[in-house]
Amino acid sequence: MATSSSEGDDLRDRSQQSTLASQRAKEGGSETQRRRGFGNMFPLGAKDGFNQWWASLSPAMTEHRVLSYIPLLQKPPTHTETGSAPVSASNSTMNVSSQDGEQLEQVTTNSINDPHGPRRWSSQMVHLSGKNRALNEFSIERIGEPVEQNLVMLHGYGAGLGFFYKNFEGLSRAEGWKLYALDMLGMGRSTRPKFEVHAKERADQVIEAESFFIDALEEWRVKKNLDRFTLLGHSLGGYLAVAYALKYPGHLNKLILASPVGIPEDPYAVNAAMPEPEDSTMANEFLQDQNEAINNSNSNAPKPGDNNNFLNARSKAAKSSSGTSTPATSEPPRKPLPGWLVYLWDKNISPFSLVRWSGPLGPRLVSGWTSRRFSHLPNEEAQALHDYSYSLFRQPGSGEYALGRILAPGAFARSPLIRRIQGVGRQYIGPHSGPTVDADAPKDTKCHKTSKKSTDSTAASITASDPDAPRVRETGIPVVLMYGEHDWMDIAGGYAAEEKIKQERARLLANASEQEKRNDHGSAKVVIIQKAGHHVYLDGPEQFNQVMLEEMRDVMRRERMRTLQDGSSAAAS
Is the pLDDT score of 172 beyond 90?
yes
Does residue 566 fall inside a structural domain?
yes
> Can you say whether residue 18 is alpha, beta or left, with left for phi > 0 and alpha for psi between -120 and 50 degrees?
beta
pLDDT digits (tens, 9 = 90+) for 413-425: 999 999 999 999 9
Are 366 and 393 within 8 A, CB to CB?
yes
pLDDT digits (tens, 9 = 90+) for 180-198: 999 999 999 999 999 888 9
Does residue 340 fall inside a structural domain?
no
Does residue 293 fall inside a structural domain?
no
Share of the chain above pLDDT 90, in %: 45
Number of independent structural domains in the chain: 1
The CATH number that applies at residue 498 is 3.40.50.1820
Is the model more confident about 22 or about 395? 395
Rounded CA separation 211/202 (Å): 14
Does residue 466 fall inside a structural domain?
no
Rounded CA separation 558/110 (Å): 30
Domain boundaries, position 262:
64-80+104-281+414-429+474-571
Identify the sign of the CA torsion 300, 305, 308, 311: positive
pLDDT computed for residue 165 by the predictor: 96
Does residue 391 fall inside a structural domain?
no
Are 492 and 314 within 8 A, CB to CB?
yes
Rounded CA separation 342/119 (Å): 48
Measuring CA to CA, how many Å separate 416 from each of 64, 138, 428, 479? 36, 31, 21, 17
Catalytic residues: 235, 487, 534
Rounded CA separation 539/182 (Å): 20
Q: Is it true that the peptide bond before 118 is cis, omega within 30 degrees of 0?
A: yes
| DSSP H or E segment with residue 137 | strand 134-142
Does residue 299 fall inside a structural domain?
no
Does residue 400 fall inside a structural domain?
no
Rounded CA separation 439/491 (Å): 28
Does residue 246 fall inside a structural domain?
yes
Give me the DSSP letters along 438-489: PPPPPTTS-EES------HHHHHHHHTT-TTSPEEB----EEEEEEETT-SS
pTM over 0.85: no
Query: Who's near 327: CB < 8 A, 6+ residues apart?
Result: 268, 271, 272, 273, 274, 333
Are 107 and 77 within 8 A, CB to CB?
yes
**Backbone φ and ψ of 62, nearest 5°:** -75, -35
pLDDT digits (tens, 9 = 90+) for 477-502: 999 999 999 998 889 999 999 999 99
Are 545 and 177 within 8 A, CB to CB?
no
Half-sphere exposure of 551 (CA within 13 A, CB side): 29
Rounded CA separation 95/106 (Å): 14
Question: Mean of the pLDDT values across residues 520-538?
Answer: 95
Rounded CA separation 128/216 (Å): 7
Query: How far does the chain reach from its first CA to its final CA, in angstroms?
Result: 61
pLDDT digits (tens, 9 = 90+) for 193-250: 998 889 989 899 999 999 999 999 999 999 999 999 999 999 999 999 999 999 999 9
| DSSP H or E segment with residue 149 | strand 149-154
pLDDT tier at 158, thresholds 50, 70, 90: confident
User: Among 270, 280, 326, which Cα is nearest to 494's?
Assistant: 270
Half-sphere exposure of 462 (CA within 13 A, CB side): 17
Are 214 and 435 within 8 A, CB to CB?
yes
pLDDT computed for residue 357 by the predictor: 82
